[in-house]
Structure 1
Amino acid sequence: MDAKDFVEIDGSYLEGGGQVLRNALSLSCILGKPVRVVKIRANRPKPGLSHQHLHGLNLLRDIANADVVGNTLLSTEVEFTPRSIGGDTYHVDTQTAASITLIYQMALPVLLFAGRPSRLYVSGGTNVAFAPQVEYMEQVLLPNLKHFGVGFDLQVQQYGFYPSGKGSCQLDVQPVEKLLAGQFLDFGHLQLVSGVAFCAGRLPRTIATDMQQTAQREIHRLWPHQMCSIEAVKHLPEKARQNGAGILMTAHTSGGCVLGSATLGEKRVDGRLLGSDASCQLVEYIRKEICVDAHMQDQLIIYMALAVGRSSMRTGPLTNHTRTAIHVAEQLTGVQFDVEVESSGQTLVTCEGLGQLNRML
């Protein structure tokens, strides 16, 4: 294909990580636009495609029946030419602890524009560093995407942690005719704090209990009468064979906002510290009455760009992930995002969406 037919995306922009690649390829599939992504993950210690990115790229190749150049491990340049989006059953086995949720993050928006329902099995890590935990995808991403008229069903068959992974999930996606404009503007008042604190493998259940009690104590210290329900779970051996621990906390408001905060244990697991870190982050969101948490910001950008009508979200300071997502979306869709820091210190992000319709339905 002639060079001028590709939209070239600079993979070193801002945070220079894998998100440029993920968003560029997802939008390429949906819009039917060939892309060339250069300088992939240029700002990372090991630039180029990692296992996770390579598996995601090859998955989108299969979903969109695309021609691909550069889909090899550590490749720093990829050319991707999509054809049509097929709804089907797909299987990805990373054979590592590569993040399952980041692979789903690439595929989900694409499968929404397929011609029929899809099922996607992925094996890898369900709860790994520098990626959304699987509980966050279920309990925070899903309710936020409902604002766009989007739903999915996610089942965890096996939990998997670093370094060996071996987790597995099933994602079922129903296609949509279009995405509705999402509005995330009214915090209202806090109604409920919920969550799950878990441990697995040889780690004692007391770690989950320490996370639970510390997190609940912090919420009740600030709001003594606030309903706060955090479940402490020790995963059964058939659901999680390896050592792992973490906590997800969610805040639900009368304005329909669902905010999340998660922490993950590493080599030395201190349940009290993990519970404290998660609750302190969630408390900050609640106090500032923002509608979209720092880890949800960037995930909503692609949906805002494609929706029919004007989407708006009120959030905190924009992360580099979000600024990167906006940059890629503007380059590929031609839409314009408006970012305004309000007198309250909140950040208002608005976008008149492209109004993309599902060509396959």
Structure 2
Amino acid sequence: MNAKDFVEIDGSYLEGGGQALRNALSLSCILGKPVRVVKIRANRPNPGLSIQNMHGLDLLRDITNADVVGNVLCSTRVEFTPHTILDNTYRVETCTAASITLIYQMALPVLLFAGHSSRLIVTGGTNVAFAPPVEYMQQVLLPNLKHFGAGFDLKVQNYGFYPRGRGNCQLDVQPVAKLNAGQFIDFGRINLISGVAFCAGCLPINIAIDMKKTAQREIHRLWPEQECTIETVKHSRERAQDNGAGITITANTTAGVVLGASALGKKRIDGYVLGSKASCQLTEFIRKEICVDDYMQDQLIIYMALAVGRSRMRTGRLTKHTRTAIHVAEKLTGVKFDVAAEPGGQTLVTCEGLGQLNKML
């Protein structure tokens, strides 16, 4: 293929991690456009394709029967030429704690444009650093995607943590004829705050209880009458073989807004610290009355770019991940995102979508 046939994406742009690669490959599959990604993960301590990137890349290769050059570990340059999106049952065995949710993040928008339903079974890490926990995908991403007329079903068979992983999840995706424009501009009022605090392995249930009590204390300090229901869970050995702990909290409003925040235990696990971290993040989102939290904004960009009509998102200050996602989406789709600062630290992001239709239906 001629070099000029590829859309070239600079992987060192802004965030300089895996965001540019993930979004570029997903859009390449959906649009049928060959893409070349250079300087992959240039701003990371170990540049180039990570094991997680490799699995995601190979998965999209299988889904679209793509021609790929450069899909080797630590490669800083990849050329990807997709063909037809194939619905099927796909399996990914990472044999590490590679993030299951980031692999799903690459494949989900692609499978929405398949001809029939698909299933994606992945083993790896369900709750690992620098990636959305599986609970966030279930409790925050899913309701946000429903604004676009899309959805999924995600089942967790086993939980997996760093360093061994060994989690197992099943994602079922029904295709859509098109994505509707998403509207995330009216905050409404908070009607429920809920969440789950978990621990696993040798860690005692008291850690989960400490997370719950601290998070509830912070919520009730600011809003004494607010309902805040946080479940505490000690995962059984059958569902989680290694040590792990974390908390995910969500806030639901009367206008359909769903915000989320989470914290993950690492080597030294303090339930009070984790509960405080997650609740302070969430309360900051609520106080600003944003409609899309800091961790969701970058994930919605690809859907806004592909949707039929004008999508609007009221969020906080844009993260580097989000600005990178916008850059990649604009370059591959040709759409334009309008970003306007608003009083109170809010940011309004608007995009007239490409209006991509599912050619497989």
TM-score, normalised with respect to structure 2? 1.00
Hey, what's the Cα distance between the residues in 2 that align with 1:52 and 1:279? 29
Post-superposition, which runs of at least 4 consecutive aligned residues in structure 1 deviate over 4 A? Answer: none
Specify the SS of the correspondent of 1:284.
Answer: helix
Specify the SS of the correspondent of 1:197.
Answer: strand
Hey, what's the Cα distance between the residues in 2 that align with 1:142 and 1:117? 17
- The one-letter code sitting in structure 1 at the alignment partner of 2:265 is G
Hey, what's the Cα distance between the residues in 2 that align with 1:340 and 1:322? 14
1:39 aligns with 2:60: no
- Tell me by how many angstroms 1:298 deviates: 0.1
- Tell me by how many angstroms 1:15 deviates: 0.9
1:356 aligns with 2:356: yes
Hey, what's the Cα distance between the residues in 2 that align with 1:9 and 1:289? 34
1:59 aligns with 2:59: yes
Hey, what's the Cα distance between the residues in 2 that align with 1:158 and 1:342? 43
- Per-residue CA deviation, residues 252-299 of structure 1 (Å, 9 max, x unaligned), is 011110000000000010000100011001010111100000000000
Specify the SS of the correspondent of 1:298.
Answer: helix
Specify the SS of the correspondent of 2:105.
Answer: helix
- The one-letter code sitting in structure 2 at the alignment partner of 1:122 is V
Specify the SS of the correspondent of 1:17.
Answer: coil
The equivalent residue for 2:158 is: 158
CA RMSD of aligned residues (A): 0.4
Matches within 5 A, 1:293-312: 293-312=293-312
1:226 aligns with 2:265: no
Hey, what's the Cα distance between the residues in 1 that align with 2:222 and 2:321? 31
- Per-residue CA deviation, residues 326-350 of structure 1 (Å, 9 max, x unaligned), is 0000000000000000123210000
Hey, what's the Cα distance between the residues in 1 that align with 2:71 and 2:158? 28
The equivalent residue for 1:253 is: 253
- The one-letter code sitting in structure 2 at the alignment partner of 1:48 is G
1:104 aligns with 2:104: yes
The equivalent residue for 2:77 is: 77
Hey, what's the Cα distance between the residues in 2 that align with 1:4 and 1:21? 19
- The one-letter code sitting in structure 1 at the alignment partner of 2:127 is N
- The one-letter code sitting in structure 2 at the alignment partner of 1:228 is C
The equivalent residue for 2:189 is: 189
Matches within 5 A, 1:281-360: 281-360=281-360
- The one-letter code sitting in structure 1 at the alignment partner of 2:335 is V
Matches within 5 A, 1:157-176: 157-176=157-176
Specify the SS of the correspondent of 1:41.
Answer: coil
- Tell me by how many angstroms 1:221 deviates: 1.2
**Identity %, equivalent residues:** 78
TM-score, normalised with respect to structure 1? 1.00
- Tell me by how many angstroms 1:33 deviates: 0.1
Hey, what's the Cα distance between the residues in 2 that align with 1:214 and 1:328? 39
Specify the SS of the correspondent of 2:170.
Answer: strand
Specify the SS of the correspondent of 1:110.
Answer: helix
1:133 aligns with 2:133: yes
1:25 aligns with 2:21: no
Matches within 5 A, 1:192-231: 192-231=192-231
Gapped regions of structure 2 (runs ≥ 5): none
The equivalent residue for 1:6 is: 6
Hey, what's the Cα distance between the residues in 2 that align with 1:38 and 1:287? 40
- Per-residue CA deviation, residues 303-356 of structure 1 (Å, 9 max, x unaligned), is 000000000000000000000000000000000000000123210000000000
- Tell me by how many angstroms 1:222 deviates: 1.1
